[in-house]
Amino acid sequence: MASNKELFEQAQGVIPGGVDSPVRAFGSVGGTPAFMERGEGAWIYDAEGTGRVDMVCSWGPLILGHCEPRVLDAVSAAAARGLSFGAPTETETLLAEEIRRRVPAAEKIRLVSTGTEATMTAIRLVRGATGRSLLIKFAGCYHGHSDGLLAEAGSGVATGGLPASAGVPAEISGQTIVLPYNDEQALRECFAERGEQIAGVIVEGAAANMGVVPPVPGFYTAIRELCDSHGALMIMDEVLTGFRCSASGWWGLHTGLADTVGSTDEGALGVPEREVYTPDLFCFGKVVGGGMPLAGLGGRAEIMDLLAPLGPVYQAGTLSGNPVSTAAGLATLRGADENVYRHISRVSAEISTAFEDEFARVGLPVQVQRAGSLFSFFFSENPVINYEQAKACETFRYTPMFWSLFEAGVYTPPSVFEAWFVSSAHDERAVNRVLEAIPAAVRAAADARA
């Protein structure tokens, strides 16, 4: 049996960094990544045969856990009928209808293969619809790796986005204005200055790619109002939060639409104060494909109908709406019922609160931040509301905590800036494994030195 170390060395010979997506290389926690062999429910097994409780869940998609029988059956049946046709299938319509049932403001939906494509198409649409070029995004929000959306931080108003990646022409990053998240004043000033040039604002459902940073009360309502008063469009990127923070995503949780689906369960944490706003476009991914490559965008019919073949905004994909992916997505959404949302809400509250209590017991100041069932940790005295504050935390404490958990059989995100995920398969045995690992992990974080 090859060890993780051997597999990683072999991979590095042929794959840059040995991985097909950078965070998998364990760069921020150091050491050798586990090469995975199989998953079962809440457990993930590496090439050395070690099983751990999976708190990553493929970065979110596996809301029903690994190899859920109904999802596997749907996938096998679809695969047996054909892997791809490059022609429409009924499953695409059924999945689009299921998305719209949960998020009624997504009146029409186009399915694509990755979240990156969904956001890329959404920004092309808002530009096509408004005839304007500039896009506002918020520092620390991740929207996939397309050129214009990699533009990153730079505090203050209307910072011309500096490329966060080599290979992004300044002409392209210059079309993205990066503002601090949760800063209504900065947004207001930016609109006051360049309002007629702004095509749209893209924002994550709660920000969860700089650690979990929910919007402060009123911020999203302000985005909506400023977009309206300046003729710009609002894109909510729910690739991570969609169908996870509630049956109707972050938007459903935030607006109260999801009240009937477990989010208002007694004891549920991470439930924000209600606000009333409706984005023009939504981006979906992760859970919507149940672990297969599938994503989508949806929104107001008159905007969505600007997409080819009806309208002038082009978008296409050989594998878009793939029959096996849509089968996985449909089975996953159908399986993710009220009980599933209640369950993940309870499990995440139990685990995150146990960490919180232990941090308090040892006297280490840590902010446990939540958005629905998503949570993450900031080693900080004060709550974190933006990227600058997130980066200023004592991030070095995470590495020993990560490895302590890893050795104790708990697989968590190999970066302090990622959310933790649970699934309906996280049962008592899995939760107990995590709870037992907490005291040593918290001690390791407390003992860490910069």
Ligand X SMILES: *Cc1c(COP(=O)(O)O)cnc(C)c1O
Nearer to ligand X, 47 or 201 (CB): 201
The catalytic residue among 45, 137, 142, 277 is 142
Nearer to ligand X, 152 or 204 (CB): 204
Least CB distance to ligand X at residue 69 (A): 25
Least CB distance to ligand X at residue 370 (A): 16
**Cβ atoms within 10 A of the Cβ of 167, count?**
7
The catalytic residue among 237, 277, 398, 411 is 237
Contacts of 431 (CB under 8 A, 6+ apart): 347, 350, 351
Residues that bind ligand X (CB under 6 A): 114-116, 119, 142-144, 204, 209, 237, 239-240, 285, 295
Nearer to ligand X, 270 or 400 (CB): 270
Q: Is 391 a catalytic residue?
A: no
Least CB distance to ligand X at residue 294 (A): 9
Least CB distance to ligand X at residue 447 (A): 32
Least CB distance to ligand X at residue 204 (A): 5
Residue 312 identity (one-letter amino acid): P
Give the residue nearest to ligand X (CB): 115
CA–CA separation, 150 and 139 (whole Å): 10
Q: Is 286 a catalytic residue?
A: yes
Nearer to ligand X, 179 or 295 (CB): 295
Nearer to ligand X, 237 or 280 (CB): 237
| CA 178 remoteness from chain centre | 19
Least CB distance to ligand X at residue 268 (A): 22
Least CB distance to ligand X at residue 203 (A): 9
Nearer to ligand X, 242 or 262 (CB): 242
Nearer to ligand X, 209 or 395 (CB): 209
- Residue whose structure tokens are 């109002």: 225
Active site residues: 142, 237, 286
